[in-house]
Structure 1
Amino acid sequence: MTGAVDKRDCSLTLVLTVCSAAIGGTFQYGYNLAIVNAPTAYIQKFINETCVDRWGTALDSNQVVLIWTFIVSAFSLGGLLGSLLAGPMAIRFGRRQALLLNNCFILASAVLALGSRSARSFEMIMLARLLVGVNAGVSSNVQPMYFGESAPKALRGAVAFSSAVFNAMGIVLGQVTGLTEILGSEGVWPYLLASNAIPGLLQLLTLPWFPESPRYLLIDRGDKEACSRALVRLRGCDVSSSEMDEILEEQKAAGEARAKSPWELLSDRSLRRQLCIVMVASSSMMLCGNDAIYFYASYIFQAADIPTDKIQYATIGTGACELSSAIISNLLIERVGRRPLLVGGYALMACWAVVFTVSLCLQNHVSGMPYLSMACVFAYILSFGMGPAGVTGILPAELFTQMARPAAYTIAGSMMWLNLFLMGMVFPFIVNSLGQFCFIPFCGVCAASSIFVALVLPETKGKTVAEIAAEFEKPNIKDLDESEDSLHLSKTLAKVAV
């Protein structure tokens, strides 16, 4: 297969496709997580003032915090809804078109955020955060699917892992944008909440110029010519015939079958092992305590005698840590593999959770403990970014075939957002009941996740979808052989008895 495209240009096309998809995708997820922290006090004050204007009475602090909790939780609930929409949108509209349509939610949320103060309505902020969550839920599932289906086998992990890099980049930029010198002051907080419209507009202007997923075009749409054109743009002048043969083989295996629904996937015994791995990995990512460590960051920085007005700058270091580790892991994933990064990341987090617990216990008794706690904060985030943050999103793309992949991402995303919501509701009670020992449960989650992944997840680096599927079929074949042997033995014993 030939074309008039230079290989360097094609490599550039793949890079630009990734940037365009991610800037309105997982970048938005990280950005919207970060920007809501800076205006917390201002929005709580706005909630109270709004209630005074409406009903002539002020709320007590617990009531204000309760409303604020609903605003924050709306993001997780929206993410769950977005995860349920992601699969059907990816199947009906395609991966690229689903990402483009997803920007409707973010633009609507920006309008609501901008108008909330003028309308004296904190409910508009709540709805805006719900829509932001829907956007994040769709993009965090469709984007890795798009990347995994568009990248060559040798770069599949690195391209898919870039979702985590852009997520961390969004966190850092959101923390910077939320500085008081930029958009983090009281007078401009609606503009801070609405600033997420800019990445959405960038994606709307750029992504239509790049190709759709080649696998989607051939396997779902049956358009071989469009698939060939997409491969030429993404790969180079001479597209490997083996890659096209692999996609054709997967299309042949799919036959006339349609894409599975989540319920059909849950009922499919042959895919139960893969589904169990993905569900556990997605849940562990939210239950491992990484978000909790961000909660403790400000407290630790205060204990280390960092001036209150400087803590916002120190907090940026936490986001920079996750970004740095994500970039390093992105460079290593095709050398080291998925399994070692995931196992090692969780194992290190378990170790740092123990050290962090010890430092919290000795915080007021031994000098220098606040600085050890600071080191633990950064080390915990580095360990999370090294593996779990990026590898988890790759798993559904590599463990499932084209017909099962959208449903797998829907289930994985639902588990992720449900557990994020659960963690947001439960974590304050964990802190109140366990105090300085609150990271012991997270240590258990990380240790169990590391052992589970080490035992059940085969390495998928450099393997085709068919080869990975064959790897999972081995235990099934072994079980079938054992059952046949048992049946044969039973028949023999019956004959002897007769």
Structure 2
Amino acid sequence: MPPVNSSQRLTRSLLLAVFSVTIGTWYPLGFSLTNINAPEDVIVQWMRTVECHRSLHANADDSTLWCRPAYYNETHQLLKENFVLNSLWALVGCSLIVGCFVSIWIANYMMARLGMKVTFYICNAVVAVGVALCGCCVVAKSYALFIIGRFVVGMGLGVSISAASIYIAEISPVRLRGALGTVPSLLYGSGMLTAAILGLPQILGSEETWTGLSWFLFLPVILHFVSLPFCPESPRYLLLNKKDKVNGEKALQWLRKSADVKEEIRDRKRRSCRRRSTHRLGDWSVQRQLLRRNILICVAIIIDQRFTGYVAVYTYSTAIFSSVGLARLQSMYGTIGLMFVQTMSGVSGMLLMDKAGRRKLLIAGNIGCTLAMVLLTVFSLLVNRGVCPQCQWGGLAAVLAFIILFGIGPASVPWVLTAEMFDKSSRSSAMTVVMACCHAAGGTVAAVFPLMMTSLDAWTFLVFAGIMTVFTVFFWWTVVETKGKTFSEIQAILWQKYNKQD
């Protein structure tokens, strides 16, 4: 076999840079999304206690609703009979994603004006403030403070996860861009797994210690602050935005562990000049049409990812397992198994991304997730109606199958494709739009799912299956394969495909 070009090697410096930006962005996002999952019963009971004291102090008529004794295994019934409590719990679940949605609109401005590294530092400081607010909620006896803290954490992560995806795409060699582009999903799953394990009652999921799940987030924040100074600014940002050839060359040399990066720099400049020439001589209406179509496809991919129901599965998996007949502790262990499977499937997705290709993984994963949701609906109905009590294990298997198939395809592909389908001039703006739609859809699912579960019960999962079916047909006709191609080659393929369709 011919030797691999030095610019295409996986170096320790490149790995450090990728790890640094993901441990401080995607890992906290996965952890924050899931750290209310296992201790759901404890948090809901604490919220009832806070409101009970307030209603007794105010001599409110509804004090009985908040103060009557209840066991942990009655949480689902409590949420069903108390609309205000259910709405507050839905707000807890979606506040993180709403914060991401609000902040994403300044991501493009921050990355263009401040660069990637300064953006990461600012966002990490915001996350630290949100963590402190969440950690102090019990002392302050305020569930509003907990909701606000999760919102602030989302504000910091909304910008940083967008910057992380673009940064990884810009520092990665073409041959490794797909594999390294799945690292955020891998760390995202690792964050979820960590939250599921720490959320066990015997660790941090008890009445006295559940706020420790919030304080734990300081660990990745500190790791990010410590490792980021060793990483360079994005070479593309330095070369094309700042016109800083000296530091751009130094950044590439550090990432590639090679002094000979002049050919890569010349190649980047040639592609940049070619794009500027195209913008001067081309038909602007055609270019805008190409951009709109690319954004439409990427938005559809990310909305499909959110409406697979995975946000609901990850945020409320303990409640889902309980709804198919598992005991509370069994549901918690099921959640840990689910997060472990998610992490392992993320590794599989990393290995397959540059072999099977993005399009195949996306479509095959979508079909598999649809079938898993249909089976989960069937098993849940059989258990709830007493026809087949043993089918609770079938429901567990259906959820695990969903996670495997989701982790291999729909979990990672959207972020890789979004970073690949746009050139430098439009990539950050396109990522902003896609991320905004991502958080809007995710927030909608997280907020509506508890209400859907109390009204539609097991039929909830069939709704997600129907949505995935529609999107799978759309992807079959619109998504192109980008595996192993440079950004310029991808733009040429898209241009040719859309011109043929016209």
Q: Same fold (TM over 0.5)?
A: yes
Cα offsets for 1:469-490 (capped at 9, x unmatched): 001111454467xxxxxxxxxx
Could you list the per-position Cα deviations for residues 122-160 of structure 1 after superposition, in whole angstroms to 9, with x for gaps in the alignment? 332222111111122112211111100011000001111
1:284 — aligned with what?
304
Partner of 1:208: 229
Residue number in structure 2 paired with 1:188: 209
Structure 1 residues 296 and 186, CA, compared in 2 at 3 Å: closer, same or farther? closer
User: Match of 1:325?
Assistant: 345
Match of 1:234 in 2: 255
- Give the Cα–Cα distance (whole angstroms) in 1 for the partners of residues 285 and 244 of structure 2: 26
Moved over 6 A (4+): 6-10, 264-267
Shift of 1:432: 4.7
Alignment CA distance shift 1:28-1:294 (3 Å): closer
Partner of 1:21: 21
Structure 1 residues 71 and 54: CA distance shift in structure 2, 3 A: farther
| Structure 1 unmatched runs, 5+ | 1-5, 259-263, 481-498
Question: Which aligned pairs between 1:88-487 and structure 2 lie closer than 5 A?
Answer: 88-237=109-258, 239=260, 242-253=263-274, 255=276, 268-294=288-314, 297-298=317-318, 301-302=321-322, 306-363=326-383, 364-366=386-388, 368-478=390-500
Q: Secondary structure at the match of 1:400?
A: coil
Shift in CA distance, 147/171, structure 1 to aligned 2, threshold 3 Å: same
Identical aligned residues as a percent: 27
Cα pair distance change 1:478/1:466, threshold 3 Å: same
Q: Distance in 1 between matches of 2:8 and 2:496?
A: 40
Structure 1 residue 10: deviation in Å? 7.2
Instruction: Give the count of matched residue pairs.
Output: 470
Letter of the 2:417 counterpart: L
Shift of 1:338: 0.8
Report the AA paired with residue 415 of structure 1. C
Structure 2 runs not aligned, ≥5 long: 1-5, 67-81
The worse-fitting range, judged by mean Cα deviation, of 365-374 and 137-146 is 365-374
Matched residues in 1 for 2:501 and 2:371: separation?
A: 37
Change (3 A) 1:28 1:213: same
* Equivalent residue letter for 2:410: P
The residue identity in structure 2 corresponding to 1:47 is V
Structure 2 CA distance, aligned partners of 1:434 and 1:42?
24
Residue 105 of structure 2 contacts residue 432 of structure 2 at CA under 8 Å; is this kept in 1?
yes
* 56 and 194 in structure 1: CA distance in 2 versus 1, 3 angstrom threshold: farther
Classify 1:191/1:48 alpha carbon distance in 2 versus 1 (closer, same or farther; 3 Å). Answer: same
Deviations for 1:306-347, whole angstroms, at most 9, x for unmatched residues? 543343222101111111101111011111111111111101
- Give the conservation status (yes or no) of the 8 Å contact 1:298–1:315: yes
Structure number with greater Rg is: 1
Structure-1 separation of matches of 2:240 and 2:8: 27
* 2:86 and 2:451 in contact (8 A); partners too: no
> Equivalent of 1:66, from 80, 87, 104?
87
Cα deviation, residue 77, structure 1 = 1.4
Q: Distance in 2 between matches of 1:20 and 1:417?
A: 23
State which drifts further: 439-448 or 140-149.
439-448
Q: Cα deviations across residues 452-475 of structure 1 (Å, max 9, x unaligned)? A: 222111111111111000011114
1:478 and 1:340, CA in 2 relative to 1: closer, same or farther beyond 3 A? closer
State which drifts further: 363-372 or 197-206: 363-372
- Is the partner of 1:268 in helix, strand or coil? helix
Moved more, 408-417 or 235-244: 235-244
Give the Å deviation of 1:209: 0.9
Give the match's secondary structure for 1:336.
coil
Partners of 1:84 and 1:115 in 2: how far apart?
Answer: 29
**Residue pair 2:234, 2:251 contacting (<8 A) in 1 also:** yes
The structural deviation recorded for 1:230 is 1.2
Q: 1:9, CA displacement in angstroms?
A: 11
1:387 Cα offset (Å): 0.8
Q: Which amino acid aligns with 2:219?
A: I
The alignment's TM-score, normalised by the length of structure 2, stands at 0.86
